[in-house]
């Protein structure tokens, strides 16, 4: 029995919070976010999934969530947007925001 990879919609509707990085390959600040997201992932562990969405390959997702600039980070849980911000967010601030947002919505 093979397990199909979950769709974007299934992931953001799940119990596990998902931090989505809407990015573009041509975006300089997006490249800055890559190591920040890797550090955030290490610090947060299984508490949050991190997903990268290329707006050029997924224009419908970008449009649906009104992503006007990249990078845009959106934290989803159970299909709801808990937090969103455009621009580069330092790792310590990102971890703090995600932790406090999850506690406030627990």
24: tokens are 């573009």
C-alpha–C-alpha distance, residues 41 and 34, integer Å: 11
Catalytic residue, from 11, 27, 50, 61: name it: 27
**Residue 27 appears among annotated catalytic residues:** yes
| Choice among 30, 36, 55, 94 that is catalytic | 30
**What is the chain's Cα-based Rg?**
13
Q: How many CB atoms lie within 10 A of CB 81?
A: 12
CA gap 8, 45 in Å, rounded: 20
First to last CA, the chain: 34
**Catalytic positions, please?**
27, 30
């Amino acid at each position: 029995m093979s397990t199909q990879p979950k769709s974007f919609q299934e992931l953001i509707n799940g119990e596990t919070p998902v931090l989505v990085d809407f990015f573009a390959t041509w975006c300089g600040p997006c490249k800055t976010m890559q190591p920040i997201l890797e550090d955030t992932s290490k610090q947060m562990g299984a508490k949050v999934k991190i997903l990268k969405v290329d707006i050029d390959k997924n224009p419908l997702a970008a449009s649906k969530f009104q992503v006007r600039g990249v990078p845009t980070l959106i934290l989803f849980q159970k299909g709801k947007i808990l937090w969103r911000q455009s621009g580069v967010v330092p790792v310590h601030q990102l971890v703090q925001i995600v932790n406090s947002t999850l506690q406030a919505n627990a």
